[in-house]
A = this chain, B = another copy of it.
Amino acid sequence: MTTQRRTPDAGRRSEATRRAILDAALELVGEVGYARLSIEGIAARAGAGKQTIYRWWPSKGAVLFDALLALSEGRDEELADLPDTGDLEADLKTVLRATVDELNDPRLSEPMRALTVEILLDPKLAADFAERLDGPLRELKLRRLRRAREAGQLAPDVDLDIALDLIWGPLQRRWLHREGPLTAEFADAVVETALNGLRPRT
């Protein structure tokens, strides 16, 4: 084997190793949970050296975070605008039903739960997450709600941050706390209840 430092082959090999590590982290956290996830385990599963991982990431939380980011980068539609057919209720149901499908997929759900817990414990990871993933997603949601407000489909004085919590919060809570089944019917009911409010409409 010839030396491959700084050649295109080496770059491809390095990228292949990086992807193998990220895939291994996602697989393992789904199998053993975050508490028992280890750099050693990830290295073994990826066929990579422990030192390689430590050279690129400071902690298992950081590996997992990049793995999730890579996953959502692979799903371009997620970081694109939310659907806008002009019918806010229908569009929100489409979005929440897609989220229900994602959260029912353990390959995505378990790493996300693990990362969420780490974020609650680690303000530095939380800031990184807010900047790189949660912030941009939140901005896309706010943009859709702002357009609906301009179109007269939301009350003119509605606080969009609270609106966002009313629409997305119950699903996130039910998922995070494992409080009940995640179904399309639940997604639809949340959207309708948030839009209409709890009081009788006269």
Contacts and interface: CB of A to CB of B under 8 A. Distances in A.
B194 A154 contact: no
A168 to B, nearest CB: 9
Number of this chain's copies in the assembly equals 2
Interface residues of A, number: 44
Interface string A80-121: 000000000000000000000000000000000100110111
A155 B196 contact: yes
Contact of A199 (B121, B153, B170, B174): B153
A125 interface: no
Contacts of A199: 153-155, 195-197
Given A117-B117, A120-B113, A121-B34, A166 B193 contact: yes
Interface stretch (A3-11, A48-56, A65-73, A156-164): A156-164
The listed residue with most B CB atoms (<10 A of its CB), out of A120, A154, A195, is A120
A190 interface: yes
A29 to B, nearest CB: 12
A201 interface: yes
Interface of A: 33-35, 113, 116-117, 119-121, 123, 126, 152-156, 158-159, 161-163, 165-167, 169-170, 172-174, 176-178, 180, 189-190, 193-201
